[in-house]
Amino acid sequence: MIKSWDNICNFYEQFQDKNNVFKNMFNLVTSIKNSKYSNYIYGWTSMYELYIVQTKVEYPYDGPRLLISPLENNKLEFRYIDTYCINRQWKRIFNADEGFLKLESFFFSIHWFYPNFTNDNS
């Protein structure tokens, strides 16, 4: 279920020339892969959507997770699934070019990371 960020990048890369929504996802995942967070968050794909969790999980998994879905018109939908009541799930739609900044802001808001986080082990 969990895939490396390299594998996830490769998945979106193979489709990025076919549809702009995949290019947007490729750009976001590339930013994640190259970020200070990449060793501390985990992801997988389902169809064309990306799931992100804070800890390694195994299939089947129905715990809290962030779902990022590509939309037309250069938008990304972020949905935090922590309940099965859809109307209670946190959901936002952002411009795709703001995807990584909004992801980072999401991390801070739910305390997965703090603004002064570094990946130094010192």
**Residue 1's pLDDT band (cuts 50, 70, 90):** confident
Establish if 84 belongs to a structural domain: yes
Give the distance from CA 16 to its chain's centroid. Answer: 17
Question: Which domain, by its residues, includes 86?
Answer: 5-109
Inter-residue contact 121 to 39 (CB < 8 Å)? no
Looking at residue 122, its pLDDT comes to 42
Q: Report how many domains make up the chain.
A: 1
Chain length of the chain: 122
Say what percent of the chain tops pLDDT 90.
Answer: 73
